[in-house]
Amino acid sequence: MNFEFSDEQKLLKDQASGFLKENCPLVSVRDIVDDDALSYDKTLWAKIGEMGWTSTTIPEEYGGLGCSYLELSVIAEELGRSLAPTPFSSSVYLATEAINVAGSDQQKNTWLPKLATGEIIGCVAVAEAKGQITPASLATESNGSTLSGTKIPVADGDVADFSIVFVRANIGDGASAYIVDLTQSNVERESIRTLDPSRSQAKITFTDANCELLGKEGEGWSLLQKINNTAAVLFAWEQVGGSEHCLEMAKAYALDRIAFGRPIASYQAIKHKLANVYVKNTIAKSNCYYGAWALSTNDKELPVAAASARISAIQAYYFASKENIQVHGGMGFTWEFDCQFFYRRSKQLAVNIGSELVWQDKLISAIELDRAS
């Protein structure tokens, strides 16, 4: 039994932690949140590119490090813990994955080396309206060489260089994926205000925008499910990192804050609350280990493992971030305190690639499929 990261992977995690402590203190997250003109931390993003994190799972032939998802998992945990305000998840977990999985040789040669260095940013555009997105609900259409429609919200769509755009298809699984250069004149985009301003989102309108098919027509929805399974595990690691940070903050405050002549950390009401946070974090983390293992071995259990990691991490982060505010009392509700950033991020991560409700249903469907075979 070896259900643990290797020493090298642990070292990478320590390096990532040290790097982010120095280059991404919470005050820099606050800077992004406070300034509407700033979508992300450009200096941090450039350094992350220099560190090679953006190239972690890209094959060496395309300029990447060719490492496994285990390496990417430990990086994700630390990015989540630090609330790094960068387009890392959109560009690395989603856009890079999509091209790596479905791209032609030429597409890989065009995009992967630049994604690897971080000099370009990719994103994924799926949502168009409120509620769960399905192929039937997509209004964006393509004639094969151009596409038209409006996508909102698109995480990091205002800062990305290109997007994987999912459009309606009348064949196959009902959707197709296209690569679209977002810098062309047929693309209009605006930053939108969001629940978590440390992560930018955009409204993008495509009017006969030039596009290039990614994968096959009518196989877009399957591609999206596949990259979402990968992203679910990596998002979950970010969520666990954030949840653990919340627990540390709540604990530190509870030990420091005196009420009725003693630290509030000595009251069972607070102790049990924090014990429950620890329990949920541990459940989520162990499921993340499972997800990372399934992802790194491309095991057939991945759909179950990814959903387990995602559901438990959504639950853990929501709980940890709201109870962190609660432990801080009124101060937790002030703009001055940092609790808000975790509460915001927990929900941003919880809805970005499909909500808890969607993933609970996916999990049971995956188990039904597994048991039927």
Partner 1 sequence: MDFNDTPKEAEFRIEVRTWLEANAPTESELRDMEPMASSKLWQKRKYDAGWACLRWPKEYGGRGASAIEQVIYSQEEAKIQTPDNVFMIGQGMCAPTMMAWATEEQKREYVPAIASGEKVWCQLFSEPAAGSDLAALTTKAERDGDDWIINGQKIWTSGAHYSDYGVIVLRTDPTVPKHKGLSYFFFDMKSEGVETRPIKQISGASNFNEVYFTNLRVPDTQRLGKVGQGWEVALTTLMNERASIGSGGGGGVNFNRLFKLAQDVNINDKPAIKNDVVREKLANWYVQESGLKFTGHRTLTALSRGELPGPENSIGKLVGAPKSQDMASFGLDLLEQSGAIWDDEYSDFRGLYQTSYMSSPAIRVAGGTDEIMANIIAERVLGLPQEVRVDKGIPFNEIPTSSSVK
Binding site for partner 1 (CB under 8 A): 1-5, 70, 247, 251, 254-255, 262-263, 265-268, 270-272, 274-276, 278-279, 282-287, 289-290, 292-293, 296-297, 307-308, 311-312, 315, 357, 359-361, 363-364, 367-368, 371
Identify whether the C-beta of residue 166 lies closer than 8 Å to the C-beta of residue 123.
no
Smaller CB distance to partner 1: residue 35 or 361?
361
Smaller CB distance to partner 1: residue 42 or 272?
272
- Write down the least CB distance from residue 261 to partner 1, Å: 9
- Write down the least CB distance from residue 289 to partner 1, Å: 5
Smaller CB distance to partner 1: residue 267 or 333?
267
- Half-sphere CA count of 186, side-chain side, radius 13 A: 13
Residue 16 makes CB contacts below 8 A (sequence gap 6+) with 53, 74, 75, 78, 79
- Write down the least CB distance from residue 216 to partner 1, Å: 31
- Write down the least CB distance from residue 308 to partner 1, Å: 5
3-class SS of residue 40:
coil
* C-alpha–C-alpha distance, residues 8 and 14, integer Å: 10
Identify whether the C-beta of residue 279 lies closer than 8 Å to the C-beta of residue 247.
no
- Write down the least CB distance from residue 25 to partner 1, Å: 24
Smaller CB distance to partner 1: residue 62 or 293?
293
* C-alpha–C-alpha distance, residues 227 and 26, integer Å: 30
Task: Say what the alpha-carbon torsion angle 306, 307, 308, 310 is, to the nearest 10 degrees.
Answer: 90
- Write down the least CB distance from residue 314 to partner 1, Å: 10
3-class SS of residue 186:
coil
Residue 306 makes CB contacts below 8 A (sequence gap 6+) with 228, 229, 230, 232, 233, 291, 294, 295
Smaller CB distance to partner 1: residue 296 or 340?
296
Determine phi and psi for 299, rounding to 5 degrees. Answer: -70, 155
Smaller CB distance to partner 1: residue 168 or 285?
285
